[in-house]
Amino acid sequence: MSSLDLHPTIRLLLDIVGKFNSTMDPSRLLNDIIQSAKGMVEAEASSLFLLSDGGKNLELTIPTGPATAEVSGKKIASDHGISGWVVQHQQPVLITDVQSDSRFQGELLSNPKFQSRNMICVPLNNNQGKTIGVLQAINIKENFLNEEMLGLFQTLANQAATALENVHIKQQQLAAELVNKELEVATEIQARFFPQQTPNLEGYEIAGCSIPAKDVGGDYYDFIPNPEPGQHGFVVADVTGKGVPASLLMATMRATLRANIQNNPNDIVQALRQVNGDIYRDSPVDKFITSIYCNLDYHRHEISYVNSGHNPPYIVRADDSRIEELEQGGVMLGIMEEIDLPKATLSIGKGDILMLFSDGVTEATNPSGELFSEESFEQWLLDHNQLSAEEMKKALLETLQVYANGSPQSDDITFIIVKRTN
């Protein structure tokens, strides 16, 4: 074939490449590639293999020709037959007599009604020169069986590989954008689960917050009105894990806890047992929740609490400047259907501070990997107990940020401060 005869083919190749670059649908692109390969050399059949399983196999995508339904999706070893040889050597081949070629091992398109006579088989090389598969044309029209056409066919394959990579990258970008959008929605929804207003309780200051380590977290805090006069509930909980799965279980915890407190306003132990049963039945076996629930009688200045495997809360006693750890506790929620949850009651004096918190506070880390620690937190509370509840909240967040000194937050940071003012 003379160079003049190549012009129509080159124009066809340019048209094909333009078509590849305008397609963002992977299935359509594969079909365009395979049909273009067949039409470019007027072949009876064509096939495109992509490397899979870490490069161990070649998977047939969308073949043309006979028996396409039977062979589509089939795999061969990446060192098998002519296709395997092309992958291993990363060289194109033009074979005028396939049946006598020692590399031919019964290609997938072979069947009693179809015999491979000749073949062009070239590697699919992307922009980085990496081979991602092979492109074949079988039983080509005789006047196309030459080295010049082999070079053009290789160009077609390289452009096809680049188009496939571009589509793959675009699909990944679209998937990432979708995930980010879903995370934005999840973050917004979760933010609405947290208290939108701080309760105004006579003689008390209240503050609380939750800073997730990821876009959404598994920590939960809430201010829960108690139907009984002069009483209000406070809870901090920590779901195993992080991210969306933990946030979903946190949402379940919130809904069932609020419902059961309303149904059992005088019996917080029974309310938490009901919550435990709901969590046990509805959550995976490897998921559980630690929680501390406190009911404040702000007329009698008494606190009743039920600790379900959570960090013991602190009371900072104003009269003698000491930390009192509330040690009474039971097992975490969701690990067994029936649990025993002891309750304890104590008084809260003027100036005393109740601190409920998750382990994200004490386990905040600095660049050296050292924990903020319970000892440092206790000392911090003693040093800052003259502040208002809101001032303490802001100061604690600032302290943890300074301590981290740029280290990524490893766990959700959640706490509630309840301070008696008179």
pLDDT digits (tens, 9 = 90+) for 297-326: 999 999 999 999 999 999 999 999 999 999
Mean pLDDT to the nearest integer, 287-302:
95
Identify the weakest region by mean pLDDT among 3-7, 171-175, 350-354, 368-372: 3-7
Q: What pTM was estimated for this model as a whole? A: 0.63
Q: Quote the tokens at residue 65.
A: 């020709």
- Whole-angstrom distance, CA of residue 329 vs CA of residue 312: 8
Distances (CA, A) of 198 to 117, 151, 174, 195, 263: 81, 74, 40, 7, 23
pLDDT at residue 239, rounded to an integer: 85
Among the listed residues 60, 260, 13, 278, the one whose alpha carbon sits nearest the alpha carbon of residue 159: 13
- Whole-angstrom distance, CA of residue 304 vs CA of residue 266: 11
What one-letter code names the amino acid at 277? G
Among the listed residues 37, 3, 331, the one whose alpha carbon sits nearest the alpha carbon of residue 48: 37
Whether 118 and 98 have beta carbons less than 8 Å apart is answered as: yes
Q: Which CATH architecture has domain 183-420?
A: 4-Layer Sandwich (3.60)
On average, the pLDDT of the chain sits at: 86
For the chain, give every domain's residue range: 3-167, 183-420
Residue 225 in this model has a pLDDT that exceeds 80: yes
Mean pLDDT to the nearest integer, 193-199:
86
Residue 69 in this model has a pLDDT that exceeds 60: no
Are 3-167 and 183-420 equal in CATH topology? no
Residue 222 DSSP class: E
Question: Looking at per-residue confidence, does 223 or 153 come out higher?
Answer: 223
Q: Helices (H) and strands (E) in the chain — how many of each? A: 10, 16
Say yes or no: domain 3-167 is CATH 3.30.450.40: yes
Residue 348 in this model has a pLDDT that exceeds 80: yes
Residue 170 in this model has a pLDDT that exceeds 70: yes
The C-alpha torsion from 302 through 340 and 239 to 392, rounded to 10°, is 20
Residue 336 DSSP class: S
* Tens digits of residue pLDDT in 82-133: 999 999 999 999 999 998 898 888 655 555 567 888 999 999 888 788 898 8
pLDDT interval class at 3 (50, 70, 90): very low
Phi, psi (5° rounding) for residue 219? -80, 155
